[in-house]
Amino acid sequence: MRIFTETGRLILREITMDDIEAMYELDSDPEVHKYLGNTPIDDPEQAAERIRLFRKQYVEDGIGRWAIIEKSSNEFIGWTGFKLVREERNNLTDFYDLGFRLLRKFWGKGYATESALASLEYGFDKLNFDKVYAMAHIDNSGSNHVLKKLGFKFIETFYLEGDLHNWYRIDKTD
């Protein structure tokens, strides 16, 4: 299993089928999905399908979401990393989207910021990205705070699946 990068507290590695149970815990939590369309999963097979999709992105796009592992416990606490978005969004195609999602018990500990910052450093330094985009539901104060703290610049609001979202960008020079 490939480790992409590490921080003082975290390991960012590829997501594997060994992560099904933790992924199910993450994506079946209604609070985690409150600002993600309120569509938590209800079957571990759906978690397995998401992992297969992430792994497919590793092969097809050379990038994807990464497992966040807490070093002190060796526990899967969520995911972070990039997705190459090929469909049009906000008049863009083929752009890199930064995302993160954490198990609720790990909220408020700085892990989202720490893992997202490590992802950005990897994207700019190792993958030579020029810019990265991100979005957050307008009411998701936690995710909006993390993106602003990382230096993302607000571009505009837009509707995605009927919900208003904030759209952000960060450039390598930022």
**Residues 129/118, Cβ–Cβ less than 8 Å:** no
* CATH code, domain carrying 12: 3.40.630.30
CB 168 within 8 A of CB 156: no
Total domains, the chain: 1
Instruction: Give this prediction's pTM.
Output: 0.95
Q: Residue 11 forms beta bridges with which residues?
A: 6, 69
Helix (H) or strand (E) holding 45: helix 44-61
State the Rg of the chain over Cα.
15
List, for residues 134-157, the tens digit of each pLDDT value. 999 999 999 999 999 999 999 999
The tens digit of pLDDT for each residue in 27-85 reads 999 999 999 888 899 999 999 999 999 999 999 999 999 999 999 999 999 999 999 99
Domain containing 27 equals: 3-171
